[in-house]
């Protein structure tokens, strides 16, 4: 693929014959999708993991709460894992840790805020005392087996983001994590271009770079512009202000607080994650809140509406969020009135557009004025656009380029961008989840895939819901369910009760009695044709009931409900 066939075959044979040779990079999630970021680096018997993220369920994943990576390929090798290294504290990079750390417990490395978020998350699972959490500062180097990992400061939509320079006996790999090049960051912490350039001068084997915004021309706007937008909007708001943002975006929260203080407004934090994350950030010194600025929700009725600013979660229109309940006039303590202002200070995540549009409509019905990214600069991206991506490519000057973090089209576009700045096409490798890209003596090839996949979390169940269950849920949601209850005397095979038919999501029983009576007669006629031996086998009876009901419903109403026969032994 990347070498002449004879060289590639030789390299694959060498690496396959001696599994411990060469550097191997394997993504278990995060490629060809948004979220679920997790990547393995292996050399000899040493393994390190970069990020351990989750993904929120897609529309077809009915009833699923979270999705986490499948780490089956690590079975029997957990003792070789030298550490988990976290680029930053977003859920798509740390959210799977409480589930993964039940099975493996290597040390976890990250910057201060990232570790603070992880520690709080692990407390909920009683894992905070059993996992070693190590706080690392930018430009510090961690030794993990044969690997040396230097943390490199990058700007992003969260405090304390880092890229990694991962050095192994085969050479150095730069992993950018999520980043942008913000020349005027809120906290003054710039992306450390000097360190990227330093490694570029020394020589970099491979660059793995964030592809999320590769389709955007130019440069990503500075986070500071959002603060300027707040300062322009707030003085014009006659009543209460509600700002919805991601709780992890500490810079955004800081700028809301700054704008509120300038206008003489008190600040109410709403939402469990918002309260927890701001508390962690305050303890670590990442956010500054003047004394007497924060108020409790119980104080709200006593403060004039034009002196209040609320910061809440729920910017994606989540049905049970505080903002959605406020928009539906269903919140016990907070009500919107004419003249109130709501600011949705986050991007519209793909797939949530309809939900957010409905939320905005409900807010307007309450009399509020609404600002969002399509009408005002109340949100900027945390990911690098094309010119920033070019700059990193030119500074690092890698021998090989592997685009990461994005849907498949983003990876392809990023590889094409790398070609524009001089990296040969044959040295751009587009990985997919499960691929094993191996490096040996400066050359690379793709080995056979490892086992990978998605584990569904539903309530307290982890991995007990698979694709068959999801298919059944989809079937139920589309066509409903029919339960057929039959009482059979086991000794004679005689039907002494039913069939009784109960339906849910199929037809309205009160208006379809004649239709359901006809279905009962069809079932009875079929069962009367069966001999006593068959009637004594409940499995056979259930199959016959399903078959006759399926044919009847398809012929009469052209629907395919889930049919559940229930046999009562009498």
HSE-up of residue 531 (Cα within 13 Å, Cβ side): 1
Name which of 149, 86, 156, 144 is nearest 118 in CA terms: 86
Q: Which residues contact 74 (CB under 8 A, 6 or more apart)?
A: 40, 47, 81, 104
pLDDT < 50 regions, the chain: 1-3, 18-19, 460-461, 463-464
Could you read off the pLDDT of 528-553 as tens digits, one per residue? 787 766 676 767 788 888 888 888 87
- Helix (H, G, I), strand (E, B), or coil: what is residue 516? helix
Strand partners, 66: 457
Report pLDDT for 63.
Answer: 55
Report pLDDT for 545.
Answer: 84
3-class SS string, 56-90: CCCCCCCCCCEEEECCHHHCCCHHHEEEEECCCCC
Contact 219, 383 (CB under 8 A): no
The CA distance from 546 to 105, in Å, is: 48
Name which of 506, 509, 437 is nearest 206 in CA terms: 437
φ, ψ at 308 (rounded to 5°): -125, 140
Name which of 393, 394, 415 is nearest 403 in CA terms: 415
Report pLDDT for 18.
Answer: 44
Q: Are strands 436-440 and 23-29 parallel, antiparallel or unpaired?
A: antiparallel
Report pLDDT for 136.
Answer: 98
The CA distance from 162 to 177, in Å, is: 7
Name which of 155, 244, 211 is nearest 390 in CA terms: 211
Report pLDDT for 461.
Answer: 47
Contact 427, 399 (CB under 8 A): yes
The CA distance from 247 to 249, in Å, is: 6
Name which of 235, 247, 252 is nearest 322 in CA terms: 247
Contact 50, 16 (CB under 8 A): no
The CA distance from 154 to 171, in Å, is: 22
The CA distance from 15 to 438, in Å, is: 8
Name the residues annotated as catalytic: 210, 383
Report pLDDT for 562.
Answer: 81
Q: Are strands 266-270 and 308-312 parallel, antiparallel or unpaired?
A: parallel
- The DSSP 8-state label assigned to residue 501 in this structure reads E
φ, ψ at 43 (rounded to 5°): -145, 120
- Helix (H, G, I), strand (E, B), or coil: what is residue 133? strand
* pTM greater than 0.85 (yes/no): no
Instruction: Give the Cα-Cα-Cα angle 306, 308, 313 (nearest 5 degrees).
Output: 135
Dihedral angle, C-alpha 404, 407, 411, 414, nearest 10 °: -100
In this structure, the chain runs to a length of: 570
Domains assigned to the chain: 5-218+381-459 (3.60.15.10), 224-371 (3.40.50.10710), 467-569 (3.10.20.580)
- The DSSP 8-state label assigned to residue 406 in this structure reads B
Q: Which helix (H) or strand (E) holds 28?
A: strand 23-29
Contact 429, 211 (CB under 8 A): no
Strand partners, 436: 447
Report pLDDT for 317.
Answer: 77
φ, ψ at 432 (rounded to 5°): -125, 165
The CA distance from 331 to 329, in Å, is: 6
Helices and strands in the chain, H and E counts: 16, 26
């Amino acid at each position: 693929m990347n070498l002449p066939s004879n060289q590639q075959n030789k390299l694959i044979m060498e690496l396959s014959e001696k599994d411990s040779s060469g550097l191997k990079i394997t993504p278990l999630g995060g490629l060809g999708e948004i979220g679920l970021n997790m990547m393995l680096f292996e050399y000899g018997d040493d393994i390190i993991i970069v990020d351990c993220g989750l993904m929120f369920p897609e529309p077809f994943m009915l009833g699923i709460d979270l999705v986490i990576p499948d780490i089956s390929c690590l079975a029997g090798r957990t003792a070789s894992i030298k550490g988990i290294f976290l680029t930053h504290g977003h859920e798509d990079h740390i959210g799977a840790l409480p589930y993964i750390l039940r099975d493996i417990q290597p040390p976890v490395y990250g910057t201060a805020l990232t570790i603070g978020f992880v520690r709080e998350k692990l407390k909920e699972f009683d894992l905070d005392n059993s996992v070693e959490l190590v706080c690392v500062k930018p430009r510090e180097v961690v030794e993990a087996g044969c690997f040396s990992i230097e943390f490199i400061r990058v700007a992003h939509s969260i405090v304390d983001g880092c890229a990694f320079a991962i050095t192994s006996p085969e050479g150095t790999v730069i992993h950018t994590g999520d980043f942008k090049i913000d020349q005027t960051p809120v906290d003054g912490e710039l992306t450390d271009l000097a360190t990227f350039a330093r490694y570029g001068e020394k020589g970099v084997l491979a660059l793995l770079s964030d592809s999320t915004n590769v389709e955007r021309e130019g440069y990503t706007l500075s986070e500071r512009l959002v603060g300027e937008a707040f300062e322009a909007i707030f003085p014009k708001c006659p009543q209460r202000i509600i700002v919805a943002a991601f709780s992890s975006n500490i810079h955004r929260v800081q700028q809301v607080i700054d704008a509120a203080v300038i206008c003489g407004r008190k600040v109410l934090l709403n939402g469990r994650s918002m309260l927890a994350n701001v508390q962690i950030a305050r303890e670590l010194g990442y956010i500054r809140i003047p004394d007497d600025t924060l108020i409790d929700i119980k104080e709200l009725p006593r403060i004039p509406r034009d002196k209040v600013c609320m910061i809440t979660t729920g910017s994606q229109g989540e049905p049970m969020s505080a903002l959605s309940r406020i928009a539906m006039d269903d919140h016990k303590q907070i009500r919107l009135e004419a003249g109130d202002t709501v600011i949705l200070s986050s991007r519209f995540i793909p797939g949530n557009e309809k939900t957010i549009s409905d939320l905005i409509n409900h807010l307007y019905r309450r009399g509020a004025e609404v600002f969002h990214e399509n009408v005002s600069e109340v949100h900027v991206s945390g990911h690098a656009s094309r010119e920033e991506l070019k700059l990193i490519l030119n500074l690092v000057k890698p021998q090989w380029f592997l685009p990461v973090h994005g849907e498949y089209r983003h990876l392809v576009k990023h590889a094409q961008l790398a070609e524009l700045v001089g990296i040969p096409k044959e040295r751009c490798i587009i990985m997919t989840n499960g691929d094993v890209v191996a490096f040996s003596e400066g050359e690379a090839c793709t080995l056979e895939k490892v086992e990978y996949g998605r584990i569904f979390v539903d309530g307290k169940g982890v991995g007990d819901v698979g694709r068959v269950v999801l298919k059944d849920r989809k079937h139920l949601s589309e066509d409903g369910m029919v339960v057929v209850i039959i009482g059979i005397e086991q000794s004679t095979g005689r039907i002494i009760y039913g069939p009784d038919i109960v339906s849910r999501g199929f037809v309205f029983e009160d208006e379809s009695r004649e239709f359901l009576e006809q279905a009962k007669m069809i079932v009875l006629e079929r069962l009367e044709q069966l001999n006593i031996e068959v009637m004594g086998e409940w499995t056979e009876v259930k199959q016959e009931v399903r078959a006759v009901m399926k044919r009847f419903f398809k012929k009469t109403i052209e629907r395919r409900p889930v049919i559940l026969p229930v046999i009562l032994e009498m």
